[in-house]
Structure 1
């Protein structure tokens, strides 16, 4: 039998109306009328990029059979081991303020990045295929019915808990007590549902209260034998997208969602950020989120802002899961472009905006609002036929940071990737140096130079010209093979030669100067 973490109280209900070992009536609770409408939103069509198509595996991702315990496998077992004792709030908030809900991506100086279905699959080892979690908000009487039917409590106890929780929700502590009581009375199905509801309430469906979980999630465990058919990784991503979008507004004071997922994603793609340790005992058959151990120390958000504003290609790992592919392959569901949903919550998943995270060249993507509105039925139908709506006709990237001509120029025109104020000439240059890190085979590093003191006069002007010409090349403001490209390179070389000669001449004057003597 799977046991919950920590101490479990001995108090709880022992007067269950029926044993869960007998089949219970499976009447679906009445839905709230306001949840039956259509969801109007935009999706991205399937013909997204116009280039050569590589082979992408089409089989479903590997299943995980290690669920343990005395109830049917739920597909949620990896969550039992992923526990970050401390969340680095400064690091997390530094990314939250760069989140754009319209694209569901972080806007950074090097372009867009986001948490994708592939990230969820690799970090958490949750399924990213299967059915959407279809849930509907419950009214008071519906919540009473689902608690008595699926958790085995009597009506009085259910009403007391709902009244104390002030809504269609229950306390996590109440679920722990109930789980212990059900185990003592060998009501294993009731115990399993209490455990699983507590598990998702602490992890993938965590809310701002950190104390309660909504009762409608319990309906996902009505039939324990079918729990595994849900795409739990999809649900985790949709819920996190929703919470990031909410937190990106200035008037929002709290952030919910499964923050270890976000924090582990940052650790994987930005190895120089955050204060963490890597487990020496980690093996690639485990979820990637288990690689890291977090401490009490947190990052200062002011420092994170400076680091992200100064981000260049050498601070990135675009595709960190190369060594992990034996455990979690890149499957077609990862490249699905369209809408994902949990109940009435619908979010865009747009991998065509972050193709470098999959090892492909990043082109200029189409607007996220480029297709007509859809209802829930159409969204579900597209997911079932996901192979028709994957990003295809992509090109393998010769280098992890590869993007099409004009991409960075376009991105910096339509977005605002910097948080701190500063002159454009003082921004770091995205110098492309093809040298690989030995321990990170899919990463590109750049030789760092120490920041020079501010220059003035003619020498400072020449330095700014060199920086401007270099950015024109880095951002593809000029097209390779054209006359403008050749002239820009010639001017850059002339300016660099003149700058080097001037600095060398100045150094000779200093070194050759005779010391003054007093007469």
Structure 2
């Protein structure tokens, strides 16, 4: 059905994190710097900090260790230190959870050094870059959900539903999706609580610390309520970290042109789908013979003529051995294979009907089939002559 992705609007609506603010400019930490930061900001001894980073094998700290620090600082009434430990634990469990599920990077303490300044950062951008979102697929809706809460709180993912997720079934579901099946604007009821911000249409580079990524909202404007057009080819115009921040702060100059408002949700121009299937890998799972086919396409019956081998003498190519095991294929067989592939392409619905590409494929299919049909008539006529002569 085209392209979809996680956008800044998704982060804002699902998690209620700000997508407005500064992009954090921290740099990668050496282990010694991480030890010093733990000593300065969490009030741990140098020996404890070194033991922690040695156990984590780098500038990390265990989540359990951070939780212990938080509890000790609360008992001694060091509230700022306790707040830093709590926020670091929170970040390590949610926004910046890594594959270990037990450690958190000490570098995030830099954003918590001045607690009065933490709200100035665009935490939603950091979340988008690291792509840590709660899965809402195969989850249960919370009956007590309040629309004033973040949209992600509407869903409860239990261990049972998570274990039931099977990759092949989801690939098949994605392959079967059509434009009317997609909920392009899922936050309509939530707009009174979390309004759409035009910064979601920003399109250049985003960064968080040393990590910089491209954010190309022009490829998914249907998610913002606009008609999708063929996007311009991406240009890898890499700029410095300072320039990324400057563009972000002057986002009005880097907003994707809105274009036409969707009259029908998910609408796109007629040539968009042709373009999309040319530049993308259309399907993730092999199709089955009994699958319903999109756009009303049905495979045409195939007639495979069996040409006698004696009718077409084998002529070896110059320089080729006459005892070669690979026999040359007859032109009729090649045309038949071409027709089969074209039929399969049309049956899968990867080309929009009435488009120029669809017409070209149908014309090529007619040409290929005419060769096989003419040859079939020729074979039948020869057999009839032999029967009459006999």
Shorter-chain TM-score category?
Answer: 0.7 to 0.9
Give, in whole Å, the separation in 2 of the partners of 1:385 and 1:236. Answer: 21
Q: Residue 206 of structure 2 corresponds to which residue in structure 1?
A: 340
The equivalent of 2:219 in structure 1 is 353
Does residue 126 (structure 1) correspond to residue 4 (structure 2)? The answer is: no
The whole-number CA distance in structure 2 between the counterparts of 1:237 and 1:353 is: 16
Shift of 1:285: 1.2
After alignment, is 313-322 or 198-207 more displaced? 313-322
Give 1:190 shift.
0.5
Is residue 50 of structure 2 the alignment partner of residue 159 of structure 1? yes
Is residue 2:60 matched to residue 1:169? yes
State the Cα deviation string for residues 126-173 of structure 1 (Å, max 9, x = none): 000100122211112211211111111121221221222221110000
Any idea what SS the aligned residue of 2:283 has?
Answer: coil
1:32-47 to structure 2, matched below 5 A, reads none
> Which structure features the higher share of helix residues?
2
Q: Does the Cα contact within 8 Å between 2:221 and 2:258 map onto a contact in 1?
A: no
Q: Secondary structure at the match of 1:347?
A: strand
| TM-superposed deviation, 1:191 | 0.3
Counterpart of 2:273 (choices 404, 408, 411) is: 408
CA distance in 1, matches of 2:214, 2:354: 29
Query: Residue 109 of structure 2 aligns with which residue?
Result: 218
C-alpha distance in structure 2 between counterparts of 1:425 and 1:476, whole Å: 25
Give the match for residue 286 of structure 1.
149
- 2:87 matches 1:202: no
Q: Distance in 2 between matches of 1:218 and 1:330?
A: 30
2:245 maps to what in 1? Answer: 380
Note the residue ranges of structure 2 that are not aligned, 5 or more in a row: 304-338, 364-390
The alpha-carbon deviation at position 352 of structure 1 amounts to 0.7
CA contact (8 A) 1:405 1:476 kept: no
Counterpart for residue 310 of structure 2:
none
Residue 115 of structure 1 aligns to a residue in which SS? coil
Aligned length: 321
Task: Classify 1:218/1:428 alpha carbon distance in 2 versus 1 (closer, same or farther; 3 Å).
Answer: farther
Larger Rg over CA atoms: 2
- Per-residue CA distance 1:17-50 (angstroms, 9 max, x = gap): xxxxxxxxxxxxxxxxxxxxxxxxxxxxxxxxxx
Indicate conservation of the 8 Å contact 1:239/1:342, yes or no. Answer: no
Counterparts of 1:208 and 1:422 in 2: how far apart (Å)?
34
| 2:192 corresponding residue in structure 1 | 326
Q: Secondary structure at the match of 1:341?
A: strand
- Gap change, CA 1:470 and 1:311, over 3 Å in 2: closer
In structure 2, C-alpha distance between the alignment counterparts of 1:423 and 1:292, rounded to whole Å: 33
- Structure 2 distance, partners of 1:205, 1:315, is 32
> Which segment drifts farther, 274-283 or 407-416?
274-283
Distance 2:78 2:219 in 1: 49
Question: Counterparts of 2:353 and 2:74 in 1: how far apart (Å)?
Answer: 62
Alignment of 1:69-468 (within 5 A): 110-240=1-131, 258-260=132-134, 263-264=135-136, 274-295=137-158, 296-297=160-161, 298-368=164-234, 370=235, 372-422=237-287, 428-429=293-294, 468=346
Deviation at 1:303? 1.3
Q: Which structure is higher in RCO with an 8 Å CA cutoff and minimum separation 6?
A: 1
In the TM superposition, residue 382 of structure 1 has moved relative to its aligned partner by 0.4
Partner residue in 1 for 2:388: none
Distance (Å, rounded) in 1 between the aligned partners of 2:16 and 2:197: 13
* CA distance in structure 1 between the aligned counterparts of 2:292 and 2:51, rounded to whole angstroms: 59
Alpha carbons of 1:329 and 1:153: their partners in 2 closer, same or farther (altered >3 Å)?
same
4+ long deviations beyond 3 Å = 422-428, 454-458, 467-476
**Kept in 2: contact 1:132–1:231 (CA 8 A):** yes
Higher deviation after alignment, 200-209 or 278-287: 278-287
Q: Secondary structure at the match of 1:167?
A: coil
Cα root mean square deviation, aligned: 3.1
TM-score, scaled relative to structure 2: 0.75
Q: Distance in 2 between matches of 1:405 and 1:197?
A: 49
